Amino acid sequence: MSSHRDSRPLQLLDLPAELVHTCLLPLSLSDLAHCLHTGNRVLAEIISSSLAIRYRVAQELAGVSISENRTAQGLRGLDTASRLTALDARERRWREFSPLSRHTIPYPRFPVMLYAIDAGRWLAAEAGTGPGMQDRAVALHYTELAPGNGKGDADSEARWRTVFTGTPFANFSTALVEHDLLVIITVVPCADDPAKISLDALMLSFSTGAPHPMASSSTIHIERRTVLDAVTDVAVEIVGDILAISLMNAVHSFADSNRLHVFDWKRGVTILTPTPITSIGIMFLAPGVILVPNAADNGLDVYLFPPFSPSPLDQQPVQLLLPALAPRTVLPPMEMHCRQSPNPRLSTEHPHLSPVRFPPAADAAAVFISYETEQAVDERFTGTTTQTHLFVLQPKPMLAVIRAARARTAGVAPGDPAVVPWTDWGARCTRWLDPVETAPAMILASEGQRLLSYPPFNPRGLAGRPPQSLRMFDFNPRRVAAARRTSKLGAGVRLVEAGPLPPELCADFAEAVGSGIAYVESTAPEGCDFDNAYLSEECIIGRKYEHEKRRGERLEVWYFG
């Protein structure tokens, strides 16, 4: 016979403490906080005494992935307590600008056309020097940024390795941790028509240089163009199965031949009709969500694909308008840029390709967008003044705005985009920054939710500039909340709350511009003699150019682990 107790529905706290802990562990920090606020002593004891939950909290405060790279040197075989200790020590070093080590990497002697940072590597594309090789690279090289070439041997000298050579190319991109993928955009004369060039994407395995085993074809044809309408700028991004490529000619910046191409790279097929664009920048807000700045409409166009959307909305993006422009003000199309690192991911199938122990959380990486406005000094446009603008964009509230706009257009026939005015999304999703201090840095100086701020490089003052201030902006909402709860932030650290844009920075706008996002700013105690500064997952990299007082260009690497 069943008792009354047996018939009562089983409650969470009826379970053994170990099972309760297992149920609590996947919860978000907000849900864990709600559990604590119930006042239940059993829940409070389980949560407060859990080393695994403490580690989760530390990971979110640091803005790193909850799936740390256990294949990396220094994490193999460590228990949770040891990993927590390692993460706490790493974060202290970042806060205090106190690197674990410093080392120098000689920069290649060959001319470098393009460079990038990914998975603990500095990648450099060697520029062509022969006739007809303007704006073309001929080889791709890389070096490990961590001490000892990423092998843990501090005495080992950095080496540059060649990963691709043989065909002239205009740009490249990588998705190493997700796919072991290297994409090379080649530009070669058409064999059947010398007046035209062919643009193609080579799908290669980064680790072997061979055709990628998951690509149905090792080459995806993009398009043919006349030599007179040659491509001057190419951007490439990969997330999941989607390869996005933008092609532009800077001389004809509003021509319909400047287009966005989107492919399923595994199947080798087009998944979006080639679409005219007015900006070279492209990026993924999330898997299946491509953002493209639009100079013609003063906005950001967002194209939706699976898995974010059940099916692609051909020619019907969601359009997020930027602040309205003042009279006689325009946007130069080639000056709109966007940056996010790392890209969002659907998987991490190749963690062994990255030496990074605590990679940034890819789904929360801040987005940095910069653009210029030009205002005519008179009605005849006889002269213009130029102002640079830079703002950080938080992806999660942005995705909520996009979902709402998408829901409003569900079932509507393809046509005009779903337009979201600036007043409906701007202040709650963005933080505007002083472009004088940060605009040139955002290209390769952001990682996760951090932005490295360093005064811009001035080639005319190359040999005589005094040491400059190095600052870090942290936009992690968890870090901001923690800073608000303490009265002792530490030396060189301050909380910068949300607020309006200074009047001198918004003279080119016809509507108010404000920011709803705060950040924590940290300033290094010592000045730096870098010419430019960059940020990777584990390092600050100072680039020092060659001049009459310095022989050989080099990278000064501050390694934080």
In a domain? residue 483: no
Q: Specify if 65 maps to a domain.
A: yes
Question: Could you tell me which of 223, 137, 536, 513 has the C-alpha nearest to residue 360?
Answer: 536
Is residue 179 within 8 A of residue 212, CB to CB? The reply is yes
Residue 402 in this model has a pLDDT that exceeds 90: yes
DSSP 446-481: EETTEEEE-PPP-GGGTTTPPPB--EEEE--HHHHH
pLDDT value of residue 123: 97
- What's the mean pLDDT in 262-277? 95
> According to the per-residue pLDDT averaged within each range, which of 110-119, 301-310, 402-411 is highest?
110-119
Q: Distance (Å, rounded) from C-alpha 454 to C-alpha 456?
A: 6
- For the chain, what percent of residues have pLDDT higher than 70? 89
For residues 283 and 302, give the distance between their C-alpha atoms in angstroms, rounded to a whole number.
Answer: 10
Which of 76-80, 168-172, 251-255 is modeled with the greatest confidence?
168-172
Residue 411 lies in a domain: no
In this structure, the chain runs to a length of 561
Give the residue with greater pLDDT, 219 vs 376. Answer: 219
Pairing of strands 233-239, 112-118: unpaired
In a domain, residue 222? The reply is: no
386 DSSP β-pair partners: 374
Residue 200 · residue 225 · CB < 8 Å: no
Q: Does residue 5 have a pLDDT over 60?
A: no
Compute the average pLDDT of residues 420-435.
91
Residue 314 has a pLDDT of: 52
Tell me how far apart the alpha carbons of residues 48 and 230 are, in angstroms, rounded to a whole number: 62
Residue from 247, 332, 241, 321 nearest 282 by CA: 247
How far, CA to CA in Å, does 483 sit from each of 43, 54, 518? 26, 18, 10
Residue with tokens 């990969």: 238
Percent of the chain with pLDDT over 90: 55
- pLDDT-derived band at 413, boundaries 50, 70, 90: low
- Higher-pLDDT residue of 446 and 8 is 446
pLDDT by residue (tens digit) across 483-502?
998 878 888 899 999 888 88
The answer on pLDDT for 458 being more than 80 is: no
Could you tell me if residue 242 is inside a domain? no
pLDDT bucket at 1, cuts 50 / 70 / 90: very low
Question: pLDDT by residue (tens digit) across 180-195?
Answer: 999 999 999 999 998 9
SS3 443: helix
Q: Which amino acid is at 35?
A: C
Contacts of 193 (CB under 8 A, 6+ apart): 224
Query: Does any domain span residue 9?
Result: no
Q: How confident is the model at residue 215 (pLDDT cuts 50, 70, 90)?
A: very high
Q: Which domain holds residue 81?
A: 15-95
Q: Are 475 and 462 in contact (CB under 8 A)?
A: no
What value does the mean pLDDT take over residues 528-551? 86
Residue 339 in any domain: the answer is no
Q: Above 60 in pLDDT, residue 134?
A: yes
In tens, the pLDDT along 304-355 reads 998 877 665 555 789 999 999 999 898 888 888 998 999 999 888 888 888 8
Q: Using 50, 70 and 90 to split pLDDT, how confident is the model at 443?
A: low
pLDDT in the model for residue 289: 95
Mean pLDDT of 363-376: 90
Q: What value does the mean pLDDT take over residues 445-455?
A: 91
Which run of H or E residues covers position 4?
Answer: helix 4-7
Mean of pLDDT values over 517-526:
94
User: Is the pLDDT at 394 greater than 50, yes or no?
Assistant: yes
What is the predicted pLDDT for the residue at 262? Answer: 96
Question: Has residue 412 been placed in a domain?
Answer: no
pTM exceeds 0.85? yes
434 pLDDT higher than 60: yes
Q: How many domains does the chain have?
A: 1
Question: 18-46, pLDDT tens digit by residue?
Answer: 898 998 888 888 888 888 888 889 889 99
Helix (H, G, I), strand (E, B) or coil at 115: strand
* Residue of 342, 394, 364, 395 lying closest to 518 (CA atoms): 394
The answer to whether 507 and 453 are in contact (CB under 8 A) is no
Average pLDDT, the chain: 87
CA distance 501 to 506: 7
In the predicted structure, residue 397 carries a pLDDT above the cut 50:
yes
In sign, the C-alpha dihedral spanning 441, 447, 448, 454 is negative
Which residue blocks in 137-268 are alpha helix, DSSP H? 176-179
Query: What are the pLDDT digits (tens) for 150-179?
Result: 454 555 578 899 999 989 999 999 999 999
Q: What is the mean pLDDT of residues 397-407?
A: 91
For range 439-462, the mean pLDDT: 76
Question: What contacts 23, CB < 8 A, 6 or more positions away?
Answer: 12, 15
Tokens 């009265």 belong to 487
